Structure 1
Amino acid sequence: MRLPALVWRKSARSESQSNCVELASLRDGGVAVRDSKLGGLSPVLALGRAGAVALRDAVKRGAFEPA
């Protein structure tokens, strides 16, 4: 998948921690996600609108919090 030039924003919750992600909005309503430590060298996970909504909802309910 070829991505256009994206405007990346870092998660406000990342602050100075080393486990950080950056997000960019996609034209179809989806999002692209990358590792902020690697910047432009990071692999990019591109999610369509449904995937972006599912990811957001899972984060909100704490699905990725350590046990």
Structure 2
Amino acid sequence: MTSDDRNGSSASSFPDADWRRSSASGQLGNCVEVAMLGSGEVAVRNSRHPAGPALVFTPAEWAAFVVGMQRDEFALPTGRPVVQLG
């Protein structure tokens, strides 16, 4: 089964997933959680809806996202409100 086949599947369909969230998110509950799957893929879910849908990314897709975050490629345009965590 490919990551495309699993996108949108219930996060509970990954029973062995060890879901983690950023320590910067505090206890607000408005977070995303990630889990490394045994296949090497990465699953992402909404922490407020832990049994809700999960997105599944290949290792290459996840690596590209992480690099984009490190390079600040996803910064909000000027004048948009920024959500402060913690």
TM over 0.5: yes
Aligned to 2:18: 7
How many percent identity over aligned positions?
A: 33
- With the length of structure 2 as denominator, give the TM-score of the two structures: 0.63
Q: Which runs of 5+ in 1 are unaligned?
A: none
Count of aligned residue pairs for this structure pair: 66
- With the length of structure 1 as denominator, give the TM-score of the two structures: 0.76
How do 1:1-67 and structure 2 match up within 5 A?
A: 1=6, 3-5=13-15, 6-17=17-28, 19-41=30-52, 43-67=53-77
Once the two structures are TM-superposed, the CA of residue 21 in structure 1 deviates from its matched residue by 0.6
- Rounded to whole Å, the distance in 1 between the matches of 2:73 and 2:29 is 20
* Residues 58, 35 of structure 1: alpha-carbon distance in 2 compared, 3 angstrom cutoff: same
Larger RCO of the pair (alpha carbons < 8 Å, separation 6+): 2
Q: Which runs of 5+ in 2 are unaligned?
A: 1-5, 78-86
- Rounded to whole Å, the distance in 2 between the matches of 1:17 and 1:63 is 25
Task: Give 1 or 2 for the bigger CA radius of gyration.
Answer: 2
- Rounded to whole Å, the distance in 1 between the matches of 2:74 and 2:30 is 13
The structure richer in strand per residue is 1
Counterpart contact for 1:11–1:23, Cα < 8 Å: no
